[in-house]
Chain A
Amino acid sequence: MSKKPKVAFFDFACCEGCQLQVANMGELLLDVLGLIDVVEFREVMSEKWDQSYDIAIIEGSITDKHAEERLKKIRERSNVLIAYGSCATIGGVNGMKNNFKLEDIRKEVYGDRFNYFDSIPTKSVPQTVKVDYIVTGCPVYIPEFVKVLKAALAGIPYYVPDYAVCVECKLNENVCMYDKGVTCFGPVTRAGCNSWCINNGNICYGCRGMVSNPNENGAKDVIAKYKIPMDMVVNKMNMYNKCRENDKSE
């Protein structure tokens, strides 16, 4: 096969920081570009492509009807679709909007003229179309993105680690944040980021989404042992993971 796969980047509601992570690869980016043919990438390219895509990389959450229709059309034209970054994979911080009555939050920001701007409750990409690969994280962790891209190019599956951030954190020999007196989401959050935030002295905010089978009893013990108010935990969980509720309601 001499023809390089056609790859396109699309952005929905997000900060575009995950796209920027691609530019932040440095000269490694040129190696990646040697393997693929990037046909659309609006943030850095004016070129457009009107045929099908071998791989479509989707960044951002779905927050209005227009976006939902646009994403469905991209899915129809794409062989492989990758949800890229937490806004796409789990709804991310855009999900916090769903903590409020939609009309109230629209009025809060845009006043009486809120009707100028369409908005629906936030959904993730997998809650909207079929997804083949997931690169989670806010922002994405570049080594993991490269792994997923390789898997997608080779046509083999990639599994996001389904164990807690604590596993990586222990290997990195960090002092537990609970022992430092603060609440950390590492115990219930999917690993794969190499405990990025805790390595830098901060807590885990749960940006990669929750493990599929969180140790609820263990978490309850920790919450009780360190006397953490439950509303604080729920509030924190809702920072990145609010869109989980969309699955329950369906």
Chain B
Amino acid sequence: MIKVSRNISINVEYLTRVEGHGNIVVNVKEGKLETCQLQIVESPRFFEGMIKGRSIFEAQHITCRICGICSCGHTLASIQAAEDAIGFIPSKQTTELRKFLLHMENLDSHILHIYLLVAPDLLGVKSFVPLIDSHNEVVRRALRMKKVCNDVCDILVGRHVHPISSIVGGFTKLPKEKDLDAMLDHLYLLRKDMDKTVELATTLTLPHFERDTEYVALVSDDDEYPMLIGDIGSTDGKSVNKKDYKSVTNEFIVPHSSAKHTKWNRDSYAVGALARFNLNSNKLHPKAKEVASAIGLKSKAIGPYLNTAAQLVECVHSLEEGIRILEGFKKNGINYDEEVVVGLNEKGTIPVKAGNGIGAVEVPRGLLFHDYEVDDKGIITKANCIIPTGQNLNNIEHDMRKLVPEILDKSDSDITLMLEMLVRAYDPCISCSAHFLNVKFINR
């Protein structure tokens, strides 16, 4: 048995099964925690600087390339900010299709995270690759489910990674009747795999660890679980208009991270599926509510590892909402007169005025902000993007600081695994935030 007064030095370089590059550094000296950092070593890519001087009609094409996993989310946040800046109000049909796209990305991203990134830890293997032999049916199901989301996005916006037809002003191509049928067929079939996913999830146990924190997500007065449109709400009872997002994020730079940190009413806050669940679980689809109660997830849940459970609940919600939206279009039809050709707005199809606009959208990893200033010709003069993972980094470090002293009796490799799993639970997207992970134990 190792004595609790020991020294621990953990140094995980280039954390795996996360999107982007980050290191975990933990240093415990004679049982006392000295260093506990999530270092972000992703090369900065300077997106906010790069889009200065470019047309607002190019913004979504460029900024969606901040991240391949949530490129639809970036697209939609960017479009919302751009349209807000130039005073363009999207049609009801456009808004519904955007909500549908957001649900498909949420589903796609959560499936990737639950099956390929988290499940290997719970099954005691290093990746999904050994599972091909031991759990072939599970791996096939995961890849099949992912492909369905992907195929639906292909039909709607040309592709999931860097969507093509979703732009400022609406859609350059609208789904035909047969496209609606094809997407619905895909999603009806997905229901069976989703039932099996829920069944599998009930057999897996997430690590137990709790730390009360502030959860932040979009909130709204209506009865819809807000993803695309809403105010910024907190489990500490505050809510502000998206225009005042900077009063929420309060970004600050720390030397060990190329991603900025944030805090609001406490030392840190969390965004993501669990935050959305904690604030809006009463508005989930009835089927998603059933799943939450079956797995015992109740608001306000304060365990960071439970984010994966909240993702499962959201998968069911996004699937059912997606089907509901498409069935609506089947019934009421699509107005093809709304198809737009915009390019760089050479023809002035969309009226432009100088202004400032904010996009605040719930993407798979949490609340995403895009903020643009444009001149009267629609040229970007200033841009700011605040990424969900960036907002979670500070909260993850606070979790690590509480967790490490609680698990000092475990071996170095067990501590490392618990820390890696903690970071992975947030489904971090480091490419996004650096604009991320690796565990370093310095001498424990």
Partners in one complex: yes
Q: Is A6 part of the binding interface, using a Cβ–Cβ cutoff of 8 Å?
A: no
| Contact A94 to B48, CB < 8 A, known contacts A200-B164, A201-B173, A202-B172 | no
Beyond A25-B147, A27-B140, 5 additional contacts (C-beta under 8 Å) are A26-B144, A63-B44, A105-B49, A113-B253, A200-B172
| Contact A13 to B161, CB < 8 A, known contacts A20-B68, A46-B17 | no
| Cα(A67)–Cα(B21), bound, Å | 12
| Cα(A21)–Cα(B160), bound, Å | 9
- The listed residue (B126, B132, B341) touching A181 by CB distance below 8 A is B341
| Cα(A68)–Cα(B21), bound, Å | 16
Q: How many residues of B contact A (CB 8 A)?
A: 68
**Which residue in chain A gives the minimum CB-CB distance to B345?**
A182
- The listed residue (B51, B67, B140) touching A30 by CB distance below 8 A is B140
30 A-B pairs within 8 Å (CB atoms) are namely A14-B68, A15-B66, A15-B71, A20-B68, A20-B69, A30-B132, A30-B140, A30-B143, A43-B19, A45-B129, A46-B127, A63-B43, A64-B43, A97-B49, A99-B50, A108-B52, A109-B48, A110-B253, A116-B255, A138-B162, A139-B68, A139-B161, A177-B341, A182-B341, A196-B158, A200-B157, A200-B165, A201-B339, A235-B54, A239-B54
CB distance from A14 to the nearest CB of B (A): 7
Q: Is B248 part of the binding interface, using a Cβ–Cβ cutoff of 8 Å?
A: no
| Cα(A94)–Cα(B43), bound, Å | 11
| Contact A93 to B62, CB < 8 A, known contacts A24-B160, A46-B17, A228-B346 | yes
Which residues of chain B are near A117, meaning CB under 8 Å?
43-44, 258
Fill in one digit per residue for B59-83: 1 if any A CB lies within 8 Å of its CB, else 0.
0011001111101000000000000
| Cα(A203)–Cα(B71), bound, Å | 18
Which residues of chain A are near B347, meaning CB under 8 Å?
181-182
**Which residue in chain B gives the minimum CB-CB distance to A112?**
B253
Fill in one digit per residue for B336-350: 1 if any A CB lies within 8 Å of its CB, else 0.
000101111011000
- The listed residue (B66, B127, B139, B344) touching A182 by CB distance below 8 A is B344
CB contact list, B302-356 vs A, under 8 A:
339, 341-344, 346-347
Q: Which 7 A-B pairs have the closest CB atoms?
A: A17-B68, A182-B343, A201-B172, A26-B147, A200-B158, A45-B127, A201-B173
CB contact list, A121-137 vs B, under 8 A:
none
CB contact list, A10-45 vs B, under 8 A:
11-21, 23-27, 29-30, 33, 38, 41-45
Q: Is B20 part of the binding interface, using a Cβ–Cβ cutoff of 8 Å?
A: yes
User: Contact: A15 with B65, CB < 8 Å?
Assistant: yes
CB distance from B186 to the nearest CB of A (A): 12
| Cα(A19)–Cα(B429), bound, Å | 14
Which residues of chain A are near B144, meaning CB under 8 Å?
26-27
Instruction: Name which of B20, B50, B341 has the most chain A CB atoms within 10 A of its CB.
Output: B50
Which residues of chain A are near B164, meaning CB under 8 Å?
196-197, 200-202
**Which residue in chain B gives the minimum CB-CB distance to A98?**
B50
Which residues of chain A are near B147, meaning CB under 8 Å?
24-27
| Contact A47 to B161, CB < 8 A, known contacts A97-B46, A109-B435 | no
User: Contact: A14 with B431, CB < 8 Å?
Assistant: yes
Q: Is A153 part of the binding interface, using a Cβ–Cβ cutoff of 8 Å?
A: no
Fill in one digit per residue for A70-98: 1 if any B CB lies within 8 Å of its CB, else 0.
00000000000000000000001110110
Which residues of chain B are near A236, meaning CB under 8 Å?
344
| Contact A180 to B341, CB < 8 A, known contacts A17-B162, A93-B62, A196-B159 | yes
User: Contact: A109 with B44, CB < 8 Å?
Assistant: yes
CB contact list, B95-128 vs A, under 8 A:
112, 116-117, 120, 126-128
Instruction: Name which of B45, B53, B147 has the most chain A CB atoms within 10 A of its CB.
Output: B45
CB distance from A24 to the nearest CB of B (A): 5
Which residues of chain A are near B127, meaning CB under 8 Å?
41, 44-47
User: Contact: B112 with A23, CB < 8 Å?
Assistant: yes
Instruction: Name which of A116, A117, A232 has the most chain B CB atoms within 10 A of its CB.
Output: A117
Q: Is B365 part of the binding interface, using a Cβ–Cβ cutoff of 8 Å?
A: no
**Which residue in chain B gives the minimum CB-CB distance to A107?**
B49
User: Contact: B43 with A139, CB < 8 Å?
Assistant: no
**Which residue in chain B gives the minimum CB-CB distance to A26?**
B147
User: Contact: B343 with A177, CB < 8 Å?
Assistant: yes
Fill in one digit per residue for A180-202: 1 if any B CB lies within 8 Å of its CB, else 0.
11111000000000001101111
**Which residue in chain B gives the minimum CB-CB distance to A140?**
B161
CB distance from B78 to the nearest CB of A (A): 14
User: Contact: B65 with A93, CB < 8 Å?
Assistant: yes
| Cα(A2)–Cα(B3), bound, Å | 49
Q: Is A52 part of the binding interface, using a Cβ–Cβ cutoff of 8 Å?
A: no
| Cα(A112)–Cα(B173), bound, Å | 44
| Cα(A27)–Cα(B171), bound, Å | 30
**Which residue in chain A gives the minimum CB-CB distance to B71?**
A17
| Cα(A113)–Cα(B259), bound, Å | 12
Which residues of chain B are near A199, meaning CB under 8 Å?
158
CB distance from A176 to the nearest CB of B (A): 12
Which residues of chain A are near B431, meaning CB under 8 Å?
14-16
- The listed residue (B18, B69, B126, B255) touching A17 by CB distance below 8 A is B69
| Contact A12 to B68, CB < 8 A, known contacts A43-B17, A43-B18, A239-B62 | no
Q: Is B150 part of the binding interface, using a Cβ–Cβ cutoff of 8 Å?
A: yes
| Contact A105 to B45, CB < 8 A, known contacts A24-B150, A138-B162, A197-B164 | no
Which residues of chain A are near B65, meaning CB under 8 Å?
15, 17, 92-93, 138
CB distance from A6 to the nearest CB of B (A): 13
| Cα(A236)–Cα(B45), bound, Å | 19
